[in-house]
Amino acid sequence: MRKIQLVNADIHTGKDNFSELIATEFDLRIISLGDLIRTEYKAESETGLKIKEYIDKGVLLPIEFVNTILENQILRDTKDLLMVNYPKTQEQFVGFKSLFNHLEIQLDKIWHLRLINLSYVAQKEFMKLGTMYTAKYEITTDTLLEKIKLNQENTHKLIELWKVDYGIETIDVDYEHTNDMRSYFMEKIKSA
């Protein structure tokens, strides 16, 4: 039976680097829904045109439609999988779980990258944006911090729901006190 692992990450945690390390360590194929949607959209395929319709209407893609996109991708090969930053809601998780049950894929592990030292990260992100951009869009370190906190709150609500039925491997991401995140991530992956 094929297996799938999920990476559910707070923003600014380095999920792409972490996902690449996990995929290499466990020989998994990474699936990023965002990448799949962008590829279909740019290709102007039948699926891409439907995506455009939903975007033009300003609505979320229906879960059944997303599952069809994912199923087409999953069936392309037989490797075990790593799903990155999807699902984002409990409703999406129920639909996603239904899909991998239908495809006889076992949920193996959920990785949660939890950002700590939020104020430090907000300050660093503010400096990266530059004065002209932050002034033009009225961005402050406080508005960035609120965005990070809101994202984290939503992510953590899902983790709390999921940990009832699944093993969650939480990794604290501390950019203020960790210089080499790649080595830090590898250490955490190997000890999990």
Cα three-residue angle 75-80-85, rounded to 5 degrees: 90
Single pTM value for the model: 0.89
Mean pLDDT of 102-110: 95
The CATH number linked to 74 is: 3.40.50.300
pLDDT confidence band for 136 (50 / 70 / 90): confident
Query: Euclidean distance between the first and final Cα of the chain, in Å?
Result: 22
pLDDT confidence band for 167 (50 / 70 / 90): confident
pLDDT value for 49: 96
User: Higher pLDDT residue, 177 or 20?
Assistant: 20
> 159 near 115, Cβ under 8 Å?
no
> 95 near 86, Cβ under 8 Å?
no
Rounded to the nearest integer, the mean pLDDT of the chain is: 94
pLDDT value for 134: 85
Total count of domains within the chain: 1
Domain containing 26 equals 2-191
